Amino acid sequence: MKTQPTHTVPKSGATENIETRIIEAAKQEFIEKGFEQTSMSDIAAVVGINRPTLHYYFRTKDKMFQAVFASIVSHFLPHIDAIFSKQEPFEKKLGEVIDIYFGIFSSNPLLPKFIIGEIHRDVNHLIDTFYSLNFDQYLSHIGELLKQEIDKNHLEKVPMQFLFMTFYSQITFPFLSRNLSQKLFFDDDPEEYARFLPQWKQHIIAQILLLLNPREGLPL
């Protein structure tokens, strides 16, 4: 007769550690496999716990996705808001924001693919998760700060969708195309590719400045 696995409620001191491990394991599984292809059993196995223990922390996969999404977005969105709130030249702030994204994507190179995959899989689910976590307040504030920057520097009234698409296409594509670009242009040398990224950062800054100030294209 098979013995059913038992579920033991963890002691309070261990709760945070186990929950952190679950979120980290779920993040890696979601990023590598996508939401649909990841099962609760997969995540439990990676953490080394049984399903009842996993459900003690996260009753559904959707709740787990919210926690994972929160852990990802909280690594950059609040920091971006803080950067744009500082009294610094716009070019410097833009460079600091790019550094945040490059750091996150360099540590999690499959993250851009995961985000785009979720946009294609179920964009409403992604947006609903974003709003359920109240991250929209950061976007609204950042949008206001950008408008103030444009007004203050007498820049072109560029539609926000142009800024969004220009910035994020140039931020994400080097990581989405890394295997191909590294092989074609850098002799498949990761170190050469890493040295290229600061140059690409300057290219992104120049493109955004040109978009906002086409007559000058100068630092702001």
- Global pTM? 0.81
Count of helices and strands (H, E) across the chain: 11, 0
d(Cα 158, Cα 170) in Å, to the nearest integer? 17
pLDDT for the residue 166: 93
d(Cα 141, Cα 112) in Å, to the nearest integer? 24
Flag whether pLDDT at 13 surpasses 60. no
134 or 44, which is more confident?
A: 44
CB 65 within 8 A of CB 35: yes
Mean pLDDT computed over 65-77: 88
> Can you give the length of the chain in residues?
220
Closest by alpha carbon to 164, among 208, 199, 132, 102? 208
Flag whether pLDDT at 28 surpasses 80. yes
CB 129 within 8 A of CB 69: yes
Rg of the chain's alpha carbons, rounded to an integer?
21
